Amino acid sequence: MIKEDINYFVSVAHGDAKKAGWWHNKSTGRNLIGAINNPIDETEKLLGAALVAQKLCLVHSEISEAMEGHRKGLMDDKLPHRKMIEVELADAMIRIADRASALGLDLGGAIVEKLAFNRLRQDHKPENREKEGGKSY
């Protein structure tokens, strides 16, 4: 159920981003997802790689905004009934979902598998975290 719900969220986030024009080059008319997944030449291949990097950095910017909202105890300016950290984390998840869809990734499946893997990790067990040299966070 988690996998399907997450993958549905991924498709909604990406659909909204495409409708908003975030994946369309206004100058050339080119679908930018094509530059990532099906570049027409070496120049476009480099552009596609840079575009992936740029869009991943936008996820980081949302996380930084969440940290700043938490650090200052701010409410969000667009959804003033919510804490800024909450809204910025939502923005980060939306951006991650959009990227996953653009890259053809099975984010839902990866999350389900990673949750299962983490349950078995020795370094995630409280008794091992409390040991000398264990992960404190």
Per-residue b or e along 105-129, where b marks 16 or more CB atoms closer than 10 Å to that residue's CB: eebbeeebeeeeeeeeeeeeeeeee
Separation CA 39–CA 46 (nearest Å): 9
Q: Is the pLDDT of residue 84 over 90?
A: yes
pLDDT over 70, % of the chain? 100
Q: Is the pLDDT of residue 130 over 90?
A: no
pLDDT, one tens digit per residue, over 4-55 is 999 999 999 999 999 999 999 889 888 899 999 999 999 999 999 999 999 9
